[in-house]
């Protein structure tokens, strides 16, 4: 059962990391769009 708990924890961490990465990418794209507007 310990292995199952570890796997579940890793899966949750991976999901959170994926969501965070998506948010960062979206923010970067917004920043790039602003730069293009200025230029």
What pLDDT sits at residue 35? 87
User: What is the tally of structural domains in the chain?
Assistant: 1
What is the model's pTM?
Answer: 0.60
- Return per-residue pLDDT of the chain as tens, 39 residues: 799 999 999 999 999 999 999 999 999 999 999 988 988
Q: What is the DSSP string of 6-39?
A: HHHHHHHHHHHHHHHHHHHHHHHHHHHHHHHHH-
**pLDDT value, residue 26:** 97
Range of the domain at 28: 1-39
């Amino acid at each position: 059962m310990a292995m199952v708990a570890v796997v579940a924890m890793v899966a949750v961490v991976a999901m959170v990391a994926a969501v965070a990465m998506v948010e960062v990418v979206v923010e970067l794209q917004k920043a790039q769009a602003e730069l293009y507007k200025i230029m």
